[in-house]
Amino acid sequence: MQPPPDAAAAGLGALKLPLGFAAALGALALFPRIQDHDTLTASVIGAALALLAWALVVWRARGAEGFRTVVSLRPQHYLQAVAHTSIFVYWGMYWDPLRQAALLIVAQILFAYAFDILLTWSRGRTYTLGFGIFPIIYSTNLFLRFRDDWFYLQFAMVAIAFLGKEFIRWEREGRRVHIFNPSSLTLAIFSLGLIVTGTTRITWGEDIASLLGLPPQMYLFIFLVSLPGQFLFGVTAMTLPAVLTTSLLSAVFLHRTGTYYFFDSDIPIAVFLGMHLLFTDPSTSPRTDLGRISFGVMYGASVFGLYWLLGWLGVPTFYDKLLQVPLMNLMVRRLDLVAAARWVSWADPSRFQLTPRVRSAVYVSAWIVAFTALSSSRVLGDHHPGASIPFWKKACDDGRAGACHNAAIFYSRACRAGSGLACSELGILQAAGKVVAAPAKDLFALACRSESTAGCENAKVLAAGGKDFRHDDPDEFDLRLVLQEGRGPLKHETLRELNELACLQGWPSSCAAIGKPAPRN
């Protein structure tokens, strides 16, 4: 039965909050960024209409009752929102597709607010209005985002995140709380779906993972913007062990094989981000210090293992940071129980009986020291040895497993960007049968058209059936393309600066140009 007119009017008035978010979402369809794309338009308008219909159902079911809202601005949420926003803004300065996604992220935030409010009221509970929406939406988009033609699936990701938060709960410390980190749950579910269906291409996932390092000093930037949250919420006890575990495993691999496990880094930049702003949700992680340390070690080790497993299965390896978190969330109570056991009390930092703030300060201080040491040794940062062509070229010449393939990846990127030297070097690898690439004849021809003397001569050598190919030193144009280190072409550096960077990476000709000793192999 429909509520009386006065109650109905009161109910509709109370619904102004979700109705306002839904209306604002629909209004985004008027912006050219969305209006000019049929799928985006249909996705945004369809989501807005679905929310309006849901609001009508809630109104008819509850009338003026059940539409209760309280405001709670938790530092845990708004500090995370500030950190995420800072990363988006800085990264967006260097990557156009991220700037173009800004309006789409706003659409998800509006959808999430309306969806969460209506879901809470549908369950007869009071809605808590605050900044809790932002970390969920931001974390989701920082690791996986669907391309425009499939954008409606982004709304599905958001819906599943909040449905999981609402319905999948357990008893913990006398309260019914959600089990899973909302963004991690939906990321893991959709990651599995994309892997099984082989449809990773419909997302920006691989681009996000590989291009997060476009801005200079991104490791340092993530470290700095995350530091307040690391201190205030005690999550350093997870981040620090995760970083140290992965870097230690990477160092062991380098010692055993002479090459880098993660190709161009000890800890990929997207994994480093995940260690700060993905698995460290205080609400779904262990409560004890020892439990959190174990949680961090598990994440670091699981990234290492998943990277191998995904590569062995022949699927994109960037999922290595996304699949394990829900499983880890299921283990948090057990980790806390083990941490409280007498036989491990010797390893529990809480036995020193420091206040939470002092203990957090100790962890953060240790993290600052560790980050400084890892950055100074080039384990973290823009100048990792594995991000340079000379490292992989020498490893390839030495017959290191996978080294020629990795060198070819670097050459291929620079070749596509127009470097004649890179095209010629890739052609040499192909002609020698060390990699599978485009025909060497085509690569040498492309190098020759790019004014590479070596490319022109190598084309003649190949045509004559010879194998004595020529290797050229990079000129200024080549240097701007082969020294990218994940940051894109170097447009503004002087020739001196280019040679300084090239010498640091191991190019002998650049060291000679600036009067420095050639690097020792």
Range of the domain at 405: 388-513
3-state secondary structure of 203: strand
For residues 326 and 370, membership in a common domain is answered with yes
Sign for the pseudo-dihedral over CA of 270, 271, 273, 277: positive
pLDDT at site 318: 94
DSSP-assigned states of every residue in 410-440: HHHHHHHHT-HHHHHHHHHHHHTTSS--S-H
Helices and strands: H and E segment counts in the chain: 26, 4
Domain boundary among 344, 376, 408: 376
Can you give the CATH number for the domain in which 502 is found? 1.25.40
Q: Which long-range contacts (CB under 8 A, 24 or more apart) does 370-378 make?
A: 370/240, 370/243, 370/244, 371/223, 371/243, 374/243, 374/247, 374/266, 375/219, 375/220
Residues 258 and 313 in one domain: yes
Residue 26: inside a domain: no
Considering the domain architecture, whether residues 357 and 394 belong to the same structural domain is answered as no
Orientation of helix 269-277 relative to helix 236-257, angle to 10° = 160
Characterize the bridge pairing of strands 175-178 and 69-71: unpaired
pLDDT for the residue numbered 76:
84
DSSP secondary structure string, 32-95? Answer: HHHHT-HHHHHHHHHHHHHHHHHHHHHHHHHTTTT--EEE---HHHHHHHHHHHHHHHHHHTT-
Question: Rounded to an integer, what distance in angstroms lies between the CA atom of residue 427 and that of residue 450?
Answer: 14
- 347 and 407 belong to one structural domain: no
8 part of a folded domain: no
| Beta bridge partner(s), residue 469 | none
Residue 172 belongs to what H/E stretch? strand 169-172
Burial label, 111 (beta-carbon count in 10 A; 0-12, 13-18, 19+) = buried
Q: Which residue has the tokens 């530092």?
A: 75
C-alpha–C-alpha distance, residues 145 and 152, integer Å: 11
Task: Give buried/exposed letters for 282-295 (b at 16+ CB in 10 A, else e).
Answer: bbbbbbbbbbbbbb
Smallest CA-to-CA distance from 474 within 506, 445, 429 is with 506
Residue 196 within a domain: yes
Q: What is the pLDDT of residue 413?
A: 84
Position 114 scores a pLDDT of 97
316 and 199 in a single domain? The answer is yes
Residue 258 CA to residue 34 CA, distance in Å, equals 49
Specify whether 198 is located in the same domain as 291. yes
CB 47 within 8 A of CB 111: yes
Residue 393 and residue 367 share a domain: no
The angle that helices 420-431 and 403-417 make with each other, rounded to 10 degrees, is 140
Closest CA to 118 of 157, 149, 162, 86: 162
* Domain boundary, last residue among 376, 411, 429: 376
**Residue 185 identity (one-letter amino acid):** L
Same domain as 126, residue 82: yes
pLDDT in tens, the chain (521 residues): 444 444 444 455 668 899 999 999 999 999 999 999 999 999 999 999 999 999 999 888 876 566 888 898 888 888 999 999 999 999 999 899 999 999 999 999 999 999 999 999 998 888 999 999 999 999 999 999 999 999 999 999 999 999 999 999 999 888 899 999 999 999 999 999 999 999 999 999 999 998 898 888 999 999 999 999 999 998 999 999 999 999 999 999 999 998 999 988 899 999 999 999 999 999 899 999 999 999 999 999 999 999 999 999 999 999 999 999 999 999 999 999 998 888 887 887 877 878 888 999 999 999 999 999 999 998 998 888 888 889 899 999 998 888 998 899 889 888 988 899 999 999 999 998 998 888 999 999 999 998 899 999 999 999 999 889 999 889 888 888 888 755 556 777 888 988 888 888 888 899 999 888 876 65
Q: Please state, in angstroms and rounded to a whole number, the distance separating the CA atoms of residues 104 and 36.
A: 13
Q: Is 129 within 8 Å of 70 (Cβ atoms)?
A: yes
Q: What is the CATH number of the domain that holds 135?
A: 1.10.3430
459-487 burial code (b ≥16 CB/10 A, e <16): bebbeeeeeebeebebbeebbbbbbbbbb
398 and 309 assigned to the same domain: no
pLDDT at 255: 92
Domain presence at residue 37? no
Residue finishing a domain among 348, 376, 404: 376
In a domain, 44, yes or no: no
Q: Is residue 48 part of a domain?
A: no
- Residue 235 forms part of a structural domain: yes
Q: How many domains are contained in the chain?
A: 2
477 with 502: CB under 8 angstroms? no
